[in-house]
Amino acid sequence: MACPFSVTSRQAVCEALTHRDLGVRPAHEPVPPALLATPAHPIFASLVRMRDDGVQPELKAAIGAALDSFSEDDIRQTTIKVAQQLATRLSTAEQLTRFNYSLPICLLAEMLGVAVRQRDALVDEVMDFVRCIAPGGSTQQMISGAQAAGKLQIRMQQADGPLFLRLSLQIGDRSLAEANAIGLFFQACEGTAGLLGQTLLLMSHRSESAEYLISEVLRQTPPIHTTRRFALRDTQLDGQALVKGQCVTIPLKTAEESFAFGYGVHQCPGSHWAKTIALAGIDYLSALNFDPSLLSYFRWRISQNAHVPEFYTAKEHNNDCGDF
Ligand code: HEM
């Protein structure tokens, strides 16, 4: 869906993200038509990120409480354990790209209770699912994503890890907990991979600490750089008229402020998880002493809203080094 309306100032971004006449989905289309009657349909409709009904605040509080019940040290130790399972050494740029996407997914898998042997397939399924939920998916991506949703649902039906048990307890409804556990994979994957990749790039030419450079990426080039809202009725935004159904693109970085983790009722409840995973991941990668030339070539992920460098091995005579 085209988004012809956009805002730019800090004040207009705050207004848009707290506007009572703007919703995360168009009023007449709570689920994208391409996902109707597919396994992705009930999952999409259950996601805290995709609803503005009376259940959302309670669901959000339950997910927040489950996430907050783990300490920074729990997350850090588990991230290191998972990083060791993923890579004891990195020899190609493609392996580094895969590591960056896999780390947040496999950390959540470990805590939700998905067996190590299932995780390679799980990463592929999450990557497919992300494509059908994020804006701008092609027909083929919607089909693959919907199939992946079915497989993720089966995996979550067997989940019994500590994060899943706390989500279930807090939410009080197993199938709603399963859908929102799948939602955590979706929410964590591109943002955290972008934070990891962009911080590695900054580290290659700056000497400040990884912790500082992570906050610098979040301040200057947020890995999720835009979000969308839809007018639920005719209304006004930033002094201009909006008609019912109109889509608004909202930048998460303005000249005055960065909203890297959003703002208002849909603000990210996993920001401390994201920063801890990224820092533990960078510390782990730094200790591996991987060849810095793995960072030489990258392209930005094809995405309407995520800024994720994808490292690759250059073929001879290819001067495309990315632009950072
Ligand atoms: C660097 C990594 C991450 C970034 C940049 C990021 C960014 C965001 C942003 C911008 C939103 C708001 C979207 C909107 O208002 O339209 C959001 C929502 C959300 N994020 Fe994150 N996120 C990251 C990692 C995570 C992680 C690791 C988790 C969970 C462990 C998580 C869970 C969520 C959830 C559940 C929502 C939906 C909240 C709601 O709609 O009420 N995120 N995230």
Is 13 inside any structural domain? no
List, as one string, the DSSP characters of 140-179. HHHHHHHHHHHHHHHHHHT--SHHHHHHHHHH--HHHHHH
Structure tokens belonging to residue 318: 């290819």
| Residues flanking ligand 1, CB < 6 Å | 48-49, 60, 63, 67, 104, 183-184, 187-188, 191-192, 195, 223-224, 227, 252, 260-262, 266, 268-270, 273-274
Residue 301 belongs to domain with CATH number: 1.10.630.10
**Counting atoms of ligand 1 from 1, which one is nearest the CA of 265?**
41
Walking along the chain (324 residues) 10 residues at a time, the average pLDDT comes out as 82 98 97 94 98 97 98 98 95 98 98 97 98 87 95 98 98 98 98 98 97 98 98 97 96 98 98 98 96 97 96 75 60
Separation CA 45–CA 43 (nearest Å): 5
Is 251 inside any structural domain? no
Q: How far apart are the CA of 261 and the centre of ligand 1, in A?
A: 6
For 196, the domain range is: 31-224+270-311
The residue contributing the CA closest to ligand 1 atom 40 is: 49
What is the enclosing helix (H) or strand (E) of 229? strand 226-231
Is 255 inside any structural domain? no
Q: How far apart are the CA of 183 and the centre of ligand 1, in A?
A: 10
Q: What is the pLDDT of residue 304?
A: 93
Is 262 inside any structural domain? no
Q: What is the pLDDT of residue 174?
A: 97
Q: What is the pLDDT of residue 6?
A: 87
Name residues whose C-beta falls within 8 Å of residue 251's C-beta, 6 or more positions apart in sequence: 6, 7, 8, 13, 225, 226
List, as one string, the DSSP characters of 89-136. ---SHHHHHHHHHHHHHHHHHHHHT--GGGHHHHHHHHHHHHHHHSTT
Number of domains making up the chain: 1
